[in-house]
Structure 1
């Protein structure tokens, strides 16, 4: 029991000696004496290793062409003037100092949007190890410029970068390099609009007017837009509206609702565009495929009104006015054949297959054999005469026929255009996503 008590006492004594105010005060007096100058860099050629710890992606603003993230930088460098033996100062192996007490690198965010200034934080202390290793971790919200490519919006993937550059010290005096992987995502929290699909760090250089080179680090972030919201609130209503536009040609001209229906679909699409216009990014560098698709649907809606007017004009034209040859040729021989249109009239003089008009009846054929009578009776039972049937009329092709052919042709044409344009839009969007 006595031995255990002595061991615990010695352990606590050593632990208490590891840090005392007196020990650290003596150490600071030794390090920051009159010989240390915070304006003098530690070495002639110094390397700063940097790691970016990403917390959140706050915003990627397409219209403002800006990218904002939150996180903190981890910077490491060595200063041999700030080294000591820990056992000489009661086991003190590290201390903290403010940015005004010692030399620190002059670094800037070279593509910053608002605050273009030297990175500094008077409230974040610098950690100094007994080997002269200095660690500084200033936090911040960084808003930088980013030039997006909206070609595949809203299925787009964007790459933005945050650039840290040495300011004042050229490559012969100060170099920047990557610490670990360059970007730490252990504390990263996902964004509601963007998925972070890749990140990397690149080492670069910049040259000033005097051809002096300066070290750069580019922290690159690749983001993919989450498109579920845009599917439900933007794309699906437009696709449905385009289908409704095509159905105007399925509405009979005699219903009296064709013109009102076409105008209603056009106005509804105009209202829809007004509601979603704020969501569509506007830049002059590229044109989005969704803008092209919406333009196609808008033109189809406007042309549907014009075509409906033509259909009604043909349908209600007086039949005593002859159909010009070129219209007859166009709508009957070309469009009519494309849509397989046949005008039919009623006839009551059709004789069933197997019988002729001059074929003798049963009364006229009293001398026939029993076998022939049974054959005729079987044929008459299997083939029932109809009072009327439909036959194609070659000569009678009036204005109403032109209207019906035009309606059918435009219905199929619109379905083809809308289907192909929608499929092309989705296929192009899959390339961007």
Structure 2
């Protein structure tokens, strides 16, 4: 007979946790079960004094994290719930049964704690199945390990995706008994991870246990964080690289005729890539992932770059042969003047140095150098002369387009770097919530 995964885990838990019965005969085991179950009523609490409180010790063993669904806000794990209590009706003298100190049987024949997973994704039902095994010691100690696949509701906080972390809990409650009838007490202050198998997607950060004696419930919480390397390499880095690839569009010469096609191609590539990424992003609005806002910002800036490229080409191929006037002309003249002024100052410095090395006798010939004649001039007169002559020069629309391209290259690269910096700083300085 082929065992299911849950049955295999249950038997594995029992064989690992507890020692194996040996040297007792089959007839002695049958005699023990018949004698103890002859007047056994599994619907009643197994205590001789029905007014006393039955203490049930609980422990949760986490085996593996199977799935965390951000959209449905659910966590699925494989784990085992260990329940330990004292059954007054299952005590015996080992010498009467060949030295038998413990015995294993089906749990469906005996009383077991009536617990439900109150925050279950599926329907509410009693925890455990009748086929699961239960072990009794001769002192009446009952041990049952209810291994299963547990699915619980969990509030997903994906604000800092893919560097998000979550707290999810498994709340087991006793709805059939009052607090004075059955008390749930954890055996430790954290979830057991002795048999935990590391997940490829999630990293287990910690756990805790909260007990509510008023509701007769125990909440086992696990803290896990997403491993961001896969998303970082396959999503974040390519998107960031494509943004800067889009910003260098203004370096392409306008005469090449490829700028519009390049701009639209990059925009479509980013849009398609964002569509594919969006399918894998958590589809939640409370809260929205910061990464979603970053992707939206990148898309909007790419659209603005496409419009700016169109305007730049419109300036470059302007059919007006007259002089450019107005704000465009003044701004272009100012930027060109500043650029040429810096170049002339550098040229004059180099010329002054070489002239001083050659001419040491005549001071008037060393002080100034005219670029057109080869004679030296004062450094501070270069910009003044250039300012008077250059501001009256003729400005074409092509010069306006070239100046506009230089401005756009610098501005959009700064905007992309600023957007990436803000995104990573938001993630780096995120608040740790419990």
Give the TM-score taking structure 2 as reference length: 0.80
Deviation at 1:218, TM superposition (A): 1.3
Q: Aligned in 2, Cα 1:24/1:185: closer, same or farther, shift over 3 Å?
A: same
Q: Aligned in 2, Cα 1:55/1:152: closer, same or farther, shift over 3 Å?
A: same
1:95 touches 1:128 (CA, 8 Å); kept in 2?
A: yes
Q: Show the 5 A alignment for 1:17-416.
A: 19-34=24-39, 36-43=40-47, 44-204=52-212, 213-332=214-333, 336=335, 340-342=338-340, 375=361, 386=372, 391=386, 393-396=390-393, 397-416=395-414
Deviation at 1:325, TM superposition (A): 2.6
For the residue of structure 1 that corresponds to 2:191, the secondary structure is strand
2:190 touches 2:207 (CA, 8 Å); kept in 1?
A: no
- Matches of 1:375 and 1:330, distance apart in 2: 45
1:250 touches 1:411 (CA, 8 Å); kept in 2?
A: yes
1:169 touches 1:214 (CA, 8 Å); kept in 2?
A: no
What is the total number of aligned residue pairs between the two structures? 384
- Matches of 2:72 and 2:22, distance apart in 1: 57
1:65 touches 1:146 (CA, 8 Å); kept in 2?
A: yes
Deviation at 1:106, TM superposition (A): 0.7
2:61 touches 2:191 (CA, 8 Å); kept in 1?
A: yes
Deviation at 1:125, TM superposition (A): 1.5
2:291 touches 2:423 (CA, 8 Å); kept in 1?
A: yes
1:85 touches 1:130 (CA, 8 Å); kept in 2?
A: yes
Q: CA RMSD in A?
A: 3.2
Higher mean C-alpha displacement, 63-72 vs 395-404 = 395-404
Deviation at 1:340, TM superposition (A): 4.7
Deviations 1:231-270 (A, max 9, x none): 2211111111100111012223333322222112101111
Point out where structure 1 has 5 or more consecutive residues left out of the alignment: 1-15, 206-212, 355-372
Deviations 1:49-90 (A, max 9, x none): 111111111011112211110121110011222212222332
- Matches of 2:197 and 2:69, distance apart in 1: 19
1:54 touches 1:69 (CA, 8 Å); kept in 2?
A: yes
Q: Aligned in 2, Cα 1:377/1:47: closer, same or farther, shift over 3 Å?
A: closer
- Matches of 2:229 and 2:285, distance apart in 1: 26
1:42 touches 1:80 (CA, 8 Å); kept in 2?
A: yes
Runs of 4+ in 1 over 3 A off after TM superposition: 318-324, 326-333, 339-346, 373-380, 382-392
Deviation at 1:398, TM superposition (A): 3.4
Deviations 1:282-318 (A, max 9, x none): 1121111111111111011111111111111222224
For the residue of structure 2 that corresponds to 1:302, the secondary structure is helix
Q: Aligned in 2, Cα 1:332/1:50: closer, same or farther, shift over 3 Å?
A: farther
1:50 touches 1:182 (CA, 8 Å); kept in 2?
A: no
More helix by percentage? 2
Higher mean C-alpha displacement, 96-105 vs 56-65 = 96-105
- Matches of 1:77 and 1:255, distance apart in 2: 83
Deviations 1:385-411 (A, max 9, x none): 756999551122332332222222211
Q: Aligned in 2, Cα 1:123/1:265: closer, same or farther, shift over 3 Å?
A: same
Give the TM-score taking structure 1 as reference length: 0.80
Point out where structure 2 has 5 or more consecutive residues left out of the alignment: 1-20, 354-358, 376-381
2:108 touches 2:129 (CA, 8 Å); kept in 1?
A: no
Which structure is larger by alpha-carbon Rg, 1 or 2?
1
- Matches of 1:246 and 1:385, distance apart in 2: 37
For the residue of structure 2 that corresponds to 1:426, the secondary structure is helix
